[in-house]
Amino acid sequence: MSGFSNAYRNNTNVNFPRMWPRAALVIGALLLISVVALLVRGLNLGIEFEGGAAWEVDAHGVSTAEARDALRPLGLADARIQTGDDILRVRAELDQSDQKVDEVSQALSDLTGTPLDEVNQTVVGASWGDEITKKAVRALIVFFIVIAIYITLKLEWAMAVAALFAVANDIVVTVGIYALFQFEVTSATVIAFLTIMGYSLYDTIVVFDKVKDNEGRLAATGKLSYPGLMNMSLNQVLMRGVNTTVTSILPVLSLLLVGSLILGAVTLQEFGIALLIGLLSGALSSFFIAAPVTVWLKERFDSRYAEARERAVARAGGTKEAREAVRSQVSSVEDAKAQLQGPDADFGTGGAPRGRKQGKRR
């Protein structure tokens, strides 16, 4: 059967553990790029964070050079001037001089022929952004602590740690891309970051809930290794993850598309880019960060699974190669399912499965 057909039947048999090492390389590389971009290029902080004055006006074909000439008499020849989508944007380090702010508005209005009352202007004090940042950071810390406690209580601590790892990764990658491409960070961006965090966390919890559910029924057998359990669970929620990601990303794509077609909807575009990256990262991080981190933690700190693993290695010969083999070798999902669910398996209630069959490799 074709891949789609299998996927449509929820009959996937992807060996995720085998993909984890390679995924780790890719993720590591992305993180490295993000961190380097952040350190080297820094974030292009919007006016809300840095203070100053900004204007936005319909350009009506006026070029940046013309705008610069027009602003020179006001002593603002070095202002940051951009055009895009026929919108002229000017940003300057003006602070309290209200007089000048209005003069610039007037000058831009004269230059572009846009009525004065259609010139957007923003003046932000320098200390404003500090306060926003401080608040956001505080909210983030509280958020992480509360969510960690929540997942620990609801699921388990290893999953809490893993979920936060995944969320942190998503944020770092998104922020890194902002640094790399020097997108402007505005308060809309901050909201996009928060959306991503929420989505990533939500996605991870759905995956982990499945793992926990399967583990509950598996505990009685003590046969399946934790990676095997995780792999089976991941396959079970794979199509759900794909579909959810598709339904989440489609509106964002439409946001991007419409934002680029309709003038003046720059905020939508910025928001769209951040969300697109973040949603993709959030969906992938559940499978390629949260899952392996949980497995790693469980095999190290949960004696049951550590022993199961050692037994498997021993059975395979106890050599280094055997260890490698065990790591990448997971019983097929078919086997795992057969092991876990008999024909009458009660998937809904978590009751003990009946009609279990022994897996071939165990």
Partner 1 sequence: MKSKGLSSLVSIVVIAVGLLAATIAAGNKPLLGLDLKGGAEVVLEPVDDSGLSGSDLDDALDQAAEIIRNRVDGLGVAEPDITVQGQRIVVQLPGIDDQERALEIVGQTAELRFRPVLDVISEGSIEALASAGESTDGGSTDGGSTDGGSTDGEATPEPDGTPTAEVTPDGEATPEPEGTPAAETTTEPEATPEDGATRQATTPDAEATPDAETPAADETPSAEETPAAEETPPAEATPEDANLLGPVGDDSPYDGPFDCNPNPLRTDEMVSRVELGEGIVTAPADDAACDIVILTGQFGDETFHWLLGPTLLTGSSLDGATSSFQSIEYVVRPTFKGGAEGIDKFNEAATACYNQSTDICPSGQLAIVLDGTVVSAPNVNAPVFDRDQITISGSFDQQEADDLAVVLRYGALPLRFKDPAEGGFVRVVSATLGKDSLRAGIIAGLIGFAIVALYMIAYYRLLGLAAILSLLVSGSLLYTIVSFLSETRGLALTLAGVTGLVVSVGTSLDTNVVYFEHLKETVANGRTLRSSVDRSFPVAFRTIFWANLASLIGAAILYFLTAGSVRGFALMLGLASILDLVATYFFLRPVVRLIAQRSSVVERPGLFGIPADLVTSGQEVTAR
Interacting positions 32-61 with partner 1 (CB under 8 A): 48, 56, 58
- The interface region with partner 1, picked from 17-25, 68-76, 118-126, 224-232 by CB under 8 A, is 118-126
- Binders of partner 1 among residues 8 to 37 (CB under 8 A) are 8-11
Q: Is 230 in the site for partner 1 (CB under 8 A)?
A: no
Residues of span 150-189 touching partner 1 by CB under 8 A: 150-151, 154, 187-188
User: Of the two residues 73 and 125, which places its CB atom closer to partner 1 in the complex?
Assistant: 125
Measured distance between the N- and C-terminal CA atoms of the chain, rounded to whole angstroms: 28
Does 198 bind partner 1 (CB under 8 A)? Our answer is yes
Nearer to partner 1, 77 or 253 (CB): 253
Amino acid at 54: A
Residues 209-228 that bind partner 1 (CB under 8 A): 209-210, 213
Measuring CA to CA, how many Å separate 162 from each of 35, 194, 303, 323? Answer: 20, 18, 18, 23
Largest Cα span, the chain: 86
Sequence-distant contacts of 97-100: CB under 8 A, at least 24 apart: 98/123, 100/74, 100/76
Smallest gap from residue 243 Cβ to partner 1 (A): 5
- The answer to whether residue 255 forms part of the interface with partner 1 (CB under 8 A) is yes
Q: Which of 107, 149, 100 is nearest to 123 (CA)?
A: 100
14-22, 177-185, 267-275, 317-325 -> range binding partner 1 (CB under 8 A): 267-275
> Residue 150 region, left (φ>0) first, then alpha (ψ -120 to 50), else beta?
alpha
- Measured between alpha carbons, how far is residue 194 from residues 34, 161, 197 in Å? 18, 19, 5
Nearer to partner 1, 86 or 307 (CB): 86
Q: Is 237 in the site for partner 1 (CB under 8 A)?
A: yes
123 binds partner 1 (CB under 8 A): yes
- Which of 194, 325 has the CB closer to partner 1? 194
Give the count of residues interacting with partner 1 (CB under 8 A): 93
Residue 34 or residue 248: which is nearer to partner 1 going by CB? 248
The answer to whether residue 147 forms part of the interface with partner 1 (CB under 8 A) is yes
Selected binder of partner 1 within 44, 128, 152, 306 (CB under 8 A): 128
- Taking CB under 8 A as the binding criterion, the range among 23-31, 64-72, 140-148, 315-323 that sits at the site for partner 1 is 140-148
| 120 near partner 1 (CB under 8 A) | yes
Minimum CB–partner distance for residue 96 and partner 1 (Å): 4
User: Out of 39, 65, 127, 320, which residue is the one contacting partner 1 (CB under 8 A)?
Assistant: 127
Are the beta carbons of 86 and 58 closer than 8 angstroms?
Answer: yes
CB of 139 to partner 1, least distance (A): 4
Per CB under 8 A, the list member of 71, 107, 119, 211 interacting with partner 1 is 119
**Interface with partner 1 in residues 319-348 (CB under 8 A):** 338, 341, 343-348
Contact pick of 78, 93, 110, 118 for partner 1 (by CB under 8 A): 118
20 vs 208, beta carbon nearer partner 1: 208
Is position 248 an interface residue for partner 1 (rule: CB under 8 A)? Answer: yes
Compute the least distance from the CB of residue 119 to partner 1, in Å. 6
The least CB distance from residue 236 to partner 1, in Å, is 7
